[in-house]
Amino acid sequence: MTRHPIGKTTATRRQFLRSTVAAVTTASVVAPLADADENPKQDDAIPIIDCHLHINHMGRSVKDTITHIRATGTKRAFILPLETGEGGVLLKSQTVLDAYREYPDEIIPFCQSNVRKPDVLERIMTYHRLGCRGVGEQKEHLPLNDPRIDKLIALCDELDWPITIHFQDGKGGYNQGIAEHLEKYLKKYQKVRIIGHAQSWWAHISAEVPPPEKTLYPTGPVKPGGLIDRLLADYPNLYADLSAGSGYNALTRDKDFTAGFLERHHRKLLFGSDCPCRDGKGANFRGVCYSMRLQKFLRSMVDDPTKLANIFYHNAMRVLGEA
Ligand SMILES: [Zn+2]
Ligand SMILES: [Zn+2]
């Protein structure tokens, strides 16, 4: 019964957003904030999937990870292992599967294994049989065009799976060469859902990307025509993971640009936190919870409940093949 007025407002707001984006004024940022406050119940009804969480993140236990999921109003979360621990978090796929058996309602188990080992594909297939839903987080010190990464993406394509990739250019980075190599995979493998994450992924929201040695977290106005803006529009098999400091930095550096980006790609963006805090309040993490901070920001930017529901929930279901 409340459908009609919501639908009506949505259409009006959509037109409003489109016109303000075209006008590139700060009004597009301020107005949805006021609207969201008028109707907080609409947003509260939207279920949330966090597409990026780790157990063992800053020593967080399984129990505290579940506490984080519940405290942040999250329904379910992709739990991503990192078997080589190259980024500082070491989490075995088996630990994720064990946690999944204990908390099947909250945990969506992903798997990951050392791609340098000759039996990696067999391991991944075993995790597939054991109930894992995708590969990630793929974060090893290898260039993106390494043949072993190609084989891993090919297997995900065969399994009809998503893969979450940490893109970080420069020395000591991971999957370097996003600008040179990502599009080749998108063309070659069309079933796999590639989920882009981390610094160099987000630096390419802008057409102007500083060298990684200078900064991995560029700030200031976004120059339209960035790589990921184009690839997200052109390839149905590409998605973006909004998590971590990199996602938040990219979305908040130029809010007028972000309004249009959210509008263009609301069917391709996945809410995620990569938050290491234990209580949803950031008690052990400088008082910041990445999940709560991003939820608040997205609610302030996206006033159309349908689009917000895509970002918070439905896109995650789509990459899992559940929608
Ligand atoms: Zn992560
Ligand atoms: Zn948190």
- pLDDT by residue, tens only, the chain of 323 residues: 333 333 333 333 334 333 333 333 333 333 333 333 334 344 467 899 999 999 999 999 999 999 999 999 999 999 999 999 999 999 999 999 999 999 999 999 999 999 999 999 999 999 999 999 999 999 999 999 999 999 999 999 999 999 999 999 999 999 999 999 999 999 999 999 999 999 999 999 999 999 999 999 999 999 999 999 999 999 999 999 999 999 999 999 999 999 999 999 999 999 999 999 999 999 999 999 999 999 999 999 999 999 999 999 999 999 999 98
Ligand with smallest separation from the Cα of 60: 2
C-alpha 69 to ligand 2 mean position (Å): 8
C-alpha 41 to ligand 1 mean position (Å): 31
Ligand with smallest separation from the Cα of 138: 1
Ligand with smallest separation from the Cα of 290: 2
- In whole angstroms, what is the distance from residue 194 CA to residue 241 CA? 10
C-alpha 11 to ligand 1 mean position (Å): 36
Q: Are 280 and 291 in contact (CB under 8 A)?
A: yes
Question: Which tokens hold the place of 305?
Answer: 């409940």
Sheet holding 135-138, edge to edge: 135-138, 162-166, 193-197, 238-241, 269-270
C-alpha 13 to ligand 1 mean position (Å): 34
3-state helix, strand, coil in the chain (%, to 5): 50, 10, 40
Q: Are 106 and 72 in contact (CB under 8 A)?
A: no
C-alpha 293 to ligand 2 mean position (Å): 9
For the chain, what are the domain ranges? Answer: 45-320
45-320 maps to which CATH number?
3.20.20.140
